[in-house]
Amino acid sequence: MFIDEVKIYVKAGDGGNGCMAFRREKFVPRGGPSGGDGGHGGDVVMESSEQHNTLVHFRFNPEYKAERGRHGEGDKKTGRDGEGIVLKVPVGTIVYDEDTGGVVHDFSRADEKVVIARGGRGGRGNAQFATSTHQAPREHEDGRPGEERNFRLELKLLADVGLVGYPNVGKSTLISVISAARPKVADYPFTTLEPNLGVVLVGDKGREESFVVADIPGLIEGAHTGSGLGTQFLRHIERTRLLVHMVDVSDGSGRPDVVKDVEVILGELASFGAGLEKKPTLMVASKIDVANPEKLKKLKAWATRKKMKLYPISAVTGEGIEKLKFAMAEGVEKVRKKLAAEHAEEATSSRFGD
């Protein structure tokens, strides 16, 4: 089950109360205050993990509470600190404060840790209040309450390449051919109801390069306003480095105008925002083994006008697949180098205070 948005409630542990006590021992005639401090409450920590790829484990257990600190005891014994809890989330999870709507943290790398709710401080026992002029204090503090917060978790897949296009243009078939992913493939709309990820290897053995491809469920006109599967999965292509726009040039789609198909999808990407329309894009003509020559010709002419290279492929016969794989790898590598250069420039600027 693929779950990409959940709401959770977390409660950090309360601090233990400080103790009020006095020593009463046989050979300690004057005794004195001996109340210990309370222990601190446990924190709630969130950590990104590559072992998880959905948020399904939060769906049926949306409440998490850390242990409270133990109360202080006599003889100046400090209470034990409460045990914290660690919540594992997939890489690519964004944590929002449900009450304010603000972003708490964006987990973009594995093994990041963030305290999302801090435990309460333990209260002081009466031994802490003793002074030279106030030698038998009866003051002591209650523990502070731990933070309690409501969060909304949203998962955006971290993939290098996103396959987009109308339903049934061959995205699932393509990802099953170029990777080890085995998505559901069938001849009806919206076969894919959840994104599929596949790792693609390119190059000779020992010098292989790899990148991750995401098969995004089919878009239709009006998706950005909720039609079809709506924006449910558009968020997953926000983080992709490269888009592969697939267009069915056969007669099986039931849509006669391939150029209109392309422009509708481009319009949906632009309407969604997040700069999706500006991402580097490879245009692919799919199902050329059963292509309508007029559709293919019309798509080639449109691509030429837009100064885009068109990659005709057939996932069934394998025609054009290797060429497309290398084009994907080259496009991903260009974006990776560009981002690396930008990060290096930012690091240099911050170092010298520019």
pLDDT in tens, 155-194: 877 778 988 888 888 888 898 888 876 655 544 344 444 6
Residue 263: count of CB within 10 angstroms of its CB: 13
CA distance 354 to 346: 9
If asked whether residues 150 and 249 sit together in one domain, one would say no
pLDDT digits (tens, 9 = 90+) for 237-250: 777 889 999 999 99
Task: Provide the residue range defining the domain that includes 54.
Answer: 5-155
User: Which of 112, 138, 155 is the last residue in one of the domains?
Assistant: 155
Q: What is the pLDDT at residue 286?
A: 94
Please report whether residue 352 resides in a domain: no
If asked whether residues 140 and 171 sit together in one domain, one would say no
CA distance 304 to 34: 86
If asked whether residues 191 and 141 sit together in one domain, one would say no
Please report whether residue 353 resides in a domain: no
If asked whether residues 80 and 181 sit together in one domain, one would say no
Q: Which residue, among 320, 284, 318, has the nearest Cα to 176 in the 3D structure?
A: 318
If asked whether residues 149 and 174 sit together in one domain, one would say no
Share of the chain above pLDDT 90, in %: 48
If asked whether residues 190 and 98 sit together in one domain, one would say no
* CATH code for the domain in which residue 15 is found: 2.70.210.12
If asked whether residues 334 and 214 sit together in one domain, one would say yes
If asked whether residues 151 and 167 sit together in one domain, one would say no
If asked whether residues 192 and 330 sit together in one domain, one would say yes
Question: Please, what sign has the CA dihedral across residues 334, 172, 321, 179?
Answer: positive
Please report whether residue 354 resides in a domain: no
Q: Does pTM top 0.75 for this prediction?
A: no
Q: What is the pLDDT at residue 350?
A: 60
132/1: higher pLDDT: 132
Q: What is the pLDDT at residue 353?
A: 58
Q: How confident is the prediction for the chain on average, in pLDDT?
A: 84
Q: Are strands 242-248 and 310-312 parallel, antiparallel or unpaired?
A: unpaired
Q: What is the pLDDT at residue 352?
A: 57
Are the C-beta atoms of residues 44 and 64 closer than 8 Å to each other? yes
